[in-house]
Amino acid sequence: MNLQKLMKQAQQMQAGLAAAQNKLAEQTLTINAAGGKIKVTATGAGLITDLQIDPSILDPDDAEFVQTLIFKAIQDAIEQAKAMAESEMKKLTGGMGLPTGLGL
């Protein structure tokens, strides 16, 4: 095994991972909950960038219901952002199964 070749491949993969991270940070997805009355936007890096709530679902006597809907929408946004990131990383690593956090 040629160590120089292996090092060069590792550097190329590292550069590819960095580029993918930048791309993911720029990509967004929007999750609709409660029939579209709650919208959560997240980046591929898992950052929540926007939250919109239709005032028609705001009932001061049932704040817990709205909190539950918002929490679920945020969880869905983060899960889908993670799935998008994993998909991009698999493209780069060829499904090598790198440990979580390596390159992310």
- Report if residue 37 sits inside a domain: yes
Domain count within the chain: 1
- Report if residue 51 sits inside a domain: yes
Q: What is the pLDDT of residues 34-68, one digit of tens each?
A: 899 999 998 888 889 999 999 998 888 888 988 89
Q: Residue 51 to residues 30, 86, 100: CA-CA distances in angstroms? A: 9, 24, 27
- Report if residue 50 sits inside a domain: yes
Radius of gyration of the chain (CA): 19
pTM of structure: 0.64
**Host domain of residue 55:** 33-94
Q: What is the pLDDT of residues 77-99, one digit of tens each?
A: 999 988 888 888 787 777 565 55
Are 66 and 59 a contacting pair, CB within 8 Å? yes
- Report if residue 87 sits inside a domain: yes
Q: What is the pLDDT of residues 4-38, one digit of tens each?
A: 888 888 888 788 778 877 888 788 889 998 899 99
Are 69 and 51 a contacting pair, CB within 8 Å? no
- Report if residue 72 sits inside a domain: yes
Predicted pLDDT of residue 104: 45
